[in-house]
Chains A and B, each alone.
Chain A
Amino acid sequence: MLECRDLHKRFGDLEAVRGVSFRIASGETYGLLGPNGAGKTTTISMACGLLEADRGEVLLGGRPLTTRSVAEKAVIGYVPQELAIYPDLSARENLRFFGRLYGLRSDVAEDRVGEVLRVIGLTDRADEQTKNYSGGMQRRLNIGIGLLHRPKLLILDEPTVGVDPQSRNAILESVERLSGEGMAVLYTTHYMEEAERLCDRIGIVDLGELKAEGTREELVSLVGEHDRIALEGVGDLRAAADASRALGPVLAASVQDGAIQLIVDHARSLLPELLGEVTDAGVAVHSVDVHEPDLEAVFLHLTGKALRD
């Protein structure tokens, strides 16, 4: 659906994007994960034809996309990071305006406006000026505008920044549903949890470069770390540790600080079997702590700094 090839962009002395390449298939959600200032917004600005690349190209459905493209942009739904709505127009008027701008006939636009208002939960206040909306409602409208014309590619630039937990969850659920309906999604975030939850594949960006990309598992494997489990309980911990070593995914087991410490593969799937083994060994477990290597660890491994630095 979308292919970015060797994108470069410079603003004065700052090289904001340096050779970023990635591709997204229909129905796939691709996340660009990186801290603020990593070059995510500049990259997606080029990916949706807002900004001309100094070098490299963007292909949409195999056709080049530039700032001057018109027809190609019709298949893109763009949700900017900052709110981009008219405060003195109602939600219905905002949606109607952008619907007409995307070439929807007025009767089609009216139908779609009604549908989107239902999806974003603003039907009851559709005719109220948006300046009277809460931040969450404005955010939902901001996303709704991007969905109005049924785009094949939805580009969301950090849509949950500054959003309350309830609205944030609603936004994430919407993105999951859209992806399930076959829409390609390009999603930028600096929240590791969002990238892990939503994205089929993730590109880790820092200082304008794509440091690595792949599925969560592929990225985690880059770190070379395994899952860790700590079991606290009463009984013969050492015997229980020895017994657990018999399980295939258990790579190492020891007793430290009054707990059984295990290094394993696939901790979550192993856990029921492991607890059974330890209990059979006469230990009454009263605390389980699972630690899986995450994207935070991957980012630290790749860049030498934490994601939120």
Chain B
Amino acid sequence: MRAALVIAGKDLRQRLRDRSALMLAVVLPLVLASIFGVIFHNAITGRVTFEFGLVDLDHGPAAQAFVTDALGPLERAGLIRLSRESTFAAGQSAANKDQVSATFVLPAGLSGAVARGQPASVRVLGSVDSTIGTQVAQSIARSYADRIETIRIAAAAGRNTSIDAAKAAALMPIVIADVSTRNRQLDSGTFFGAGMAVFFLFFTVQFGITSLFDERRDGTLQRMLAAPIRRGSILTGKLITSLVLGSASMAVLVIATRFLISAHWGNPLGVAVLIVAGVLASTAVMTLVATFASTTEQAQSWQAMVALVFGMLGGTFFPVAQAGGLIAALSLATPQAWFLRGLENLTGGAGAGAVAGPVAAMLAFAVVTGALALMRIGRLIAR
């Protein structure tokens, strides 16, 4: 063990001098987390407020019902903000100038058409620069139109072709519940801070085991093999290097993101346990990948591919699990997904026990991939 610690100490000294390692382990994840946090802040928190224009050329009960029952609840919830325009041209201009995401146009005769059970339309004029806002506006209008259509068909079936427009529009009022999951999801700072930290963790830990290829190339591995130490000490030293680098970079990122991008990681003990499990899992996975390589360059490119695929699948850039289906299932095959899930479990003041499941999953990863790596690792120091 003494020799392993001597080797790890030397490796860590080298890594500290290597500024690219510091960049990859700390600076890059921090910068990317900050950038992503700023860009996607609203989308992640669900606290989106869309600016919509409204042009009411009908002034009838159906238009009133649309404004009151369809748009009203959303406005009161703070999800939309309405600005009323008096003419079609004014509404169109507001959308074109990107002053609003979209403008609803309620045409003259809307209420009459609804009352007679005739086709009626609500126009949505979208801003080309706000595709999401336009889609939201279209969804609101479509929902309203579908509701009227449902009643029209029901009335036709009952041979009642005259429908009270106000009643028709008021039936089944649109209810937009606050779908924000901020009580179960990470806020943007924490999500991107944690996502980038665990994504780059897979790159950071590779410095340990992959340096064996450098040692071989530089002849220093031969020199170590000629020294009075067990061969296992060399491998242990490299693994210690990976574990220390991974843990240190994560610890620095937890603290840095707390102050720089207001990340809320949760219970410190739970976070610490998650980090240890994550570092073990990432080290085991990257070591296994390295055992298939022959050179530093080969190992690094294969490890980068695995880190990238696992990172994307594990939801470190965006919450892919919300896509559901196969992607959601596949994401659980990555330690990154379990790490983020563990952090989600810690939100809302949960104790360290909340991470038991994700930690167990990551440790299972570490055990399985670590065992496979151990079966093959001897070839890394074979002469």
Contact = CB atoms under 8 A, between A and B. Distances in A.
B225 A102 contact: no
Interface stretch (B60-68, B214-222, B306-314, B330-338): B214-222
Interface stretch (B10-18, B47-55, B293-301, B361-369): B10-18
Contact of A102 (B14, B227, B230): B227
A93 B13 contact: yes
B226 interface: yes
B224 interface: yes
Interface string A143-171: 00100000000000000000000000000
B319 to A, nearest CB: 40
Contact of A101 (B17, B218, B219, B224): B224
A78 interface: yes
Chain B interface mostly: helix
B261 to A, nearest CB: 33
Contact of A45 (B6, B223, B231, B383): B383
Interface centre among B17, B18, B227, B383 (most CB of A within 10 A): B227
A89 B228 contact: no
7 contacts: A50-B226, A51-B383, A78-B223, A80-B223, A84-B223, A86-B220, A101-B227
B223 A88 contact: no
A253 to B, nearest CB: 55
What class of interface size applies to chain B in its complex with A? Answer: 20 to 34
B227 A98 contact: yes
B228 A78 contact: no
Counting chain B CB atoms within 10 Å of each CB, the highest count among A70, A86, A88, A101 belongs to A101
B228 A71 contact: yes
B3 A101 contact: yes
Nearest to B222: A80
A258 to B, nearest CB: 55
A87 interface: yes
B227 A73 contact: yes
A70 B6 contact: no
A87 B17 CA distance: 12
Interface in A110-147: 145
A192 interface: no
Interface string B219-243: 1101111111111000000000000
A49 B18 CA distance: 33
Contact of B10 (A73, A87, A89): A89
Given A86-B218, A87-B218, A93-B13, A70 B230 contact: yes
B8 to A, nearest CB: 11
A74 interface: yes
Contacts of B6: 97, 100-101
Contacts of B10: 86, 89, 93, 97
